[in-house]
Amino acid sequence: MKTAGFCDLGFAKLDTDRKARRGFAEVIYCSGKTKEQLLGIVGQLLKARHELLLTRLESQNFAYLKSIFPHLEYNSEAKLGYFKARKKITPHGAVVVISAGTSDIPVAEEAAITLEVMGSRVTRLYDVGVAGVHRLLHNIRILKKAKVIVVVAGMEGALASLVSGLVSCPIIAVPTSCGYGASFQGLSALLSMLNSCSPGVTVVNIDNGFGAGYFAHLVNK
């Protein structure tokens, strides 16, 4: 395993060098995998790693894994399975995770839990979108203390530009598929965020809370 850098399970080749290269073990995307495949992958990762992230994990597959690995935890909103190792929290600063609306919380939680499992301190500010901007401004002190901010928004995706115009830290924007017909399952929010007039905004894919959380931790670290 140490020579090859991966463990061949037949149906999967687990990257056993990922933690040494990236600072965190391989994260498993669960959609499309059988529970038997997940069992083999999780069992192997827990032998070699102290932390674990399982994205897009359905509740029935979590229940199956939980019966075998009792320390495994689950967030049903984010569909995220995880195991937190005992590790020091990054002391350099807090990451603020913002959701524009309540419907965006599942994606925001995916980002927040990813950050916490990787070792960052997280502050959550939910349902503070531009339709009631006073809700966001009420928390301006929290925003200005952040090392990096993750902004999760659907509809027109305007919140990322607004937040970026108020703070000096980097912004990671996450478009969500929340919205009515012409939002095109998040495409309108994605395009708005990509065309932000406020500098310092980077954008991840639609509903990719995990990717935003991972990148935010690297910035924070």
Residue 94: DSSP 8-state: E
DSSP H helical segments within the chain, as ranges? Answer: 18-22, 35-48, 59-68, 105-118, 134-137, 140-145, 159-164, 187-194, 209-220
Give the three-class secondary structure for 123: strand
How far, in Å, CA of 35 to CA of 69, rounded?
13
**What confidence tens digit (pLDDT) does each residue in 111-140 have?**
999 999 988 999 999 999 888 889 988 889
- Contact assessment for residue 53 and residue 117, using Cβ atoms and an 8 Å cutoff: yes
> Measuring CA to CA, which residue among 35, 37, 15 is closest to residue 26?
15
pTM recorded for the entire structure: 0.86
The pLDDT of residue 1 is: 44
- Please name each of the domains of the chain with its CATH number: 6-83 (no CATH), 94-220 (3.40.50.1970)
The pLDDT of residue 44 is: 84
Average pLDDT over residues 161-182: 92
**What confidence tens digit (pLDDT) does each residue in 18-45 have?**
877 887 888 899 999 999 999 988 988 8
The pLDDT of residue 15 is: 81
The pLDDT of residue 84 is: 76
- Contact assessment for residue 27 and residue 210, using Cβ atoms and an 8 Å cutoff: yes
The pLDDT of residue 146 is: 93
Structure tokens given for 109: 């939680």
The percent of residues above 90 in pLDDT, for the chain, comes to 56
How far, in Å, CA of 65 to CA of 143, rounded?
38
